[in-house]
Amino acid sequence: MIDESAPRKVIIFHPKTMPVAVLADPELTIGLPRTLTVGTGMDALSHSIEALCAPTYHPMAHGIGLEGCRLVFKHLPRVVADPADHRTAGVLHLDRRRVRWAC
């Protein structure tokens, strides 16, 4: 959430807002439309860049952001070229989840 009274991003968190279960199976991403695959890959890239551009430095966030960028650049073109590549789709799927932790 954006705080318009100050130039900062605010995270709202409470344990009761967390899901009870998560289906994080890369197999579920196989066969998605190409535009959705590219869009979610670009979303992962934007989160990676966001982690690198934070106004305060945190070594974990910086490392996750760098690795996120590397993985998206390496694997997104492969998944777009061959949507049935389960191994590459799995790496990209896990990267999308990982970079959200850094922001």
Tell me the residue ranges of DSSP E strands in the chain: 2-3, 8-9
Could you tell me the residue ranges of all domains in the chain?
Answer: 26-102
DSSP 56: S
Distance of CA 52 to the CA centre of its chain: 13
Structure tokens at 74: 């390496």
The confidence score (pLDDT) of residue 77 equals 92
In sign, the C-alpha dihedral spanning 77, 83, 84, 87 is: positive
What's the confidence (pLDDT) of residue 98? 67
Q: What is the pLDDT of residue 66?
A: 92
Burial class (CB in 10 A: 0-12, 13-18, 19+), 100: middle
Whole-number pLDDT of residue 69: 92
Q: Is 3 helix (H, G, I), strand (E, B) or coil?
A: strand
Residue 7 has pLDDT above 60, yes or no: yes
Interval 25-82: pLDDT, tens: 777 777 888 898 889 889 889 989 988 888 888 888 889 899 989 999 998 998 889 8
Residues 76, 70: Cα–Cα separation, whole Å: 10
| Closest C-alpha among 23, 96, 99, 9 to residue 61 | 99
